[in-house]
Amino acid sequence: MKFVAFNVRDDERKYFENWSKENKIEVTLLKEELTSTTIAKAKGYDAVLGFQTGNYPDNLFDELAKFNVKVFSVRNVGVDNVDLETAGKYNITVTNVPAYSPNAIAEFTITQLLQLLRKQNLFRQRMAKQDFRWAPFVGEELGHMTVGVMGTGRIGRAAIQIYKGFGAKVIAYDPFPNPQLEKEGIYVSQEELFKQADVITLHMPATDENYHCINEDSIKLMKDGVYIVNAARGALIDTEALIAALKNGKVKGAALDTYENEAPIFNHDLSGQAINDPMFKELLAMDNVVLSPHIAFYTETAVQNMVEVSLASAKKVVETGTAKTIVQ
């Protein structure tokens, strides 16, 4: 049995190497992303481990099928960039790592929101100029707010626990409600959530149905001065509409760990280079936006689990044809 992993970062290496030693399975580690060119390097392997926020090449599964690869394991949660239909057509099993650390993402979103509520961007700018005054940047307290959680899966539920700890009122929307939360009576319709929430936080996958679900029309339904938090997927928000609402004050602030055109920007060193994305540059320059390069997941616990669980799932599929983390 032989595996190959693409887009391997230095912080992942020790976990790959230890697992490979312990399981006596050869794992080739490549720095390159999976592209229509680098895919040739998958030849001769039983399993391919992928990890990227942007698109996988269109010919991914056609090529993997030619190489007789049995399993494609992504070392992350979201599979919105994986063509599951074509994988199925070629009988290639796809696995993901659904719960490497829901808390990592949940904690991060709240950290970002608190920065917004306490106007940290503004204080940082002032302090860089040795201006240490307080006024007029009075903050707001989360404990006095109603938080609307969209998506009550693993991450949404972890976030709910934290919000409750702050004393916030939590309401939620999910087309597939969680039975325990249903008993607590926190679910409302999507429209009611838009109308009632002071903070709207997104924790659902990107699908064709919810593409740009935060848009000009849904923003109109929201409270004046709402805060929006998105560490799920950039495609959930019509960024142009969000920027307009941030400018006219309808949306008071946004905490964004994802951005709809992030792939050529996030996790790349663009120091000294021009960024040819006016919308992104606008977000980056806004005082009422806290922006991060898709790092909500990025903790040691998460990285270790992502590597180890994806490898274990690949091994299980090659050995038995199945695994707990198969994506359908």
325 near ligand COI, judged by CB under 6 A: no
CA separation, residue 305 to residues 16, 298, 316 (Å): 11, 11, 16
Q: Is 203 a catalytic residue?
A: no
Q: Which does 293 bind (CB under 5 to 8 A by kind): ligand COI, ligand NAD, none?
A: none
232 near ligand NAD, judged by CB under 6 A: yes
294 near ligand NAD, judged by CB under 6 A: yes
Nearer to ligand NAD, 141 or 191 (CB): 191
Nearer to ligand COI, 50 or 145 (CB): 50
76 near ligand COI, judged by CB under 6 A: yes
106 near ligand COI, judged by CB under 6 A: no
Minimal CA–CA distance to 317: which of 125, 309, 86? 309
Catalytic entry in 262, 268, 300, 308: 262
112 near ligand COI, judged by CB under 6 A: no
Nearer to ligand COI, 188 or 295 (CB): 295
Nearer to ligand COI, 125 or 207 (CB): 207
Catalytic entry in 154, 157, 203, 233: 233
Give the relative orientation of helices 300-320 and 10-23 as an angle to the nearest 10 degrees.
Answer: 40
Q: Is 126 a catalytic residue?
A: no
Q: Report phi then psi at 140, rounded to 5.
A: -125, 155
Q: Of residues 74, 150, 168, 241, which one binds ligand NAD by CB under 6 A?
A: 150
Minimal CA–CA distance to 229: which of 266, 191, 202? 202
Q: How far is the CB of 200 from ligand NAD (least distance, A)?
A: 11
Token couple for 315: 């091994």
CA separation, residue 191 to residues 16, 29, 172, 199, 290 (Å): 45, 47, 11, 14, 26
- Count of CB atoms within 10 A of residue 25's CB? 17
176 near ligand NAD, judged by CB under 6 A: yes
134 near ligand NAD, judged by CB under 6 A: no
C-beta of residue 155 within 8 angstroms of C-beta of residue 102: yes
77 near ligand COI, judged by CB under 6 A: yes
**CA-CA-CA-CA dihedral for 225, 231, 232, 237, to nearest 10:** 40
Could you tell me which stretch among 28-36, 75-83, 144-152, 179-187 binds ligand COI (CB under 6 A)?
75-83
Secondary structure of 171-226 in HEC code, one letter for each residue: EEECCCCCHHHHHHCCECCHHHHHHHCCEEEECCCCCCCCCCCECHHHHHHCCCCE
Active site residues: 233, 262, 294
